[in-house]
Amino acid sequence: MFDTFIVQPIFNLLVLIYNIVPGHNFGLAIIIFTIVVRLLMWPLVKKQLHHTKAIRLLMPELRKIKLAAKGDRRKESQLTMELYKEREINPLATIGIALVQAPILIGLYFGLQKIIKDPNQLINFSYSFLHFGWLDTLAHNIHQFDNTLFGMVDLSRTASGPKGTYWPAVIIVAASALVQYIQSKQLMPTAKDSRGLRSILKEAGQGKQADQQEVSAAVGRGTLIFIPFIVLVVGLNFAVALPLYWLTSSFVALIQQSKVLREDVSEAETVMSSSPVVDADRLGSKASPRKKTAKRGHHKRKRR
């Protein structure tokens, strides 16, 4: 089922692009395939980035809620959810693109593995309606399959292997890790008073209660280095065709999020400014009607 519903459709989209692209270069087909996938994901990307920007704009108000809660985790959580509801923000929306990207990456990996191990899979694993033009030519002579990037990079080789270090692959893998870092850093909120995870855990070990938001922010800053490192380490052991996809995908994603964050800043700020500024006491009063009633009675007695 995984092959039928995930791997084969992704594989055939790549084969279709390879079949019709001028020159029938496999590296160029991977680049075009990646761009097509990112464009198809554009509505989801834009929505995700809008939520990310909106949450970043809420950081000052979240800090106010933290101060107003005075260590009461339940109250802080309740006020935070009230704020998200008031501003129509779903904090889980930011993981949507990852859930879509994962099957594509896994399906592409297995599809590329089929081609690298046996180029005849271009014919055997593709849909019958794609057997025209260049695929017909390959069916008669598979040795005409060009599995390079513009004739300069062998996409079937790994950066390190029995043949030694393959420097073109090393460069592509390193570039994919670098672009991933830049892409993640662009979305990372910055705060002057931010502390490292080690410092927070050290204080927690001394009996001081750790702030969950501060811990989450510190973990997020840690992933800024961790994810590109994983991309680098894993990419060195994969055929360079997959790191080429990562590089192209990260680069296109960087362009997309730069466009959204630049053009939608004014829109997001307009939405934020049109909504009333959060008042922790007001939000808290929704959850504590008795306190609100008592407060009103106090004012009445004062006027009398």
Whether 301 maps to a domain, the answer reads no
| Residue 36 covered by a domain | yes
| Residue 291 forms part of a structural domain | no
Q: What's the domain count of the chain? A: 1
Closest CA to 34 of 108, 137, 98: 108
Q: Above 80 in pLDDT, residue 40?
A: yes
Label residue 220 exposed, middle or buried (CB < 10 Å: 0-12, 13-18, 19+).
middle
Burial of 54 (0-12, 13-18, 19+ CB in 10 A): buried
135 in any annotated domain: yes
Residue 193 falls inside a structural domain? yes
Taking the whole predicted model, whether its pTM rises above 0.75 is answered as no
Task: Specify if 296 maps to a domain.
Answer: no
CA 300, CA 304: separation in Å to the nearest integer?
A: 6
**Residue with token string 């001394």:** 206
Average confidence (pLDDT) over 147-152? 91
Q: Is 292 domain-assigned?
A: no
Mean pLDDT score, 276-299:
46
Q: Residue 43: exposed, middle, or buried by beta-carbon count in 10 A (0-12, 13-18, 19+)? A: exposed
pLDDT band, residue 271 (cuts 50/70/90):
very low
Residue 76 domain boundaries: 2-278
204-to-28, 67, 75, 191, 218 alpha-carbon distances in Å: 52, 19, 21, 21, 14
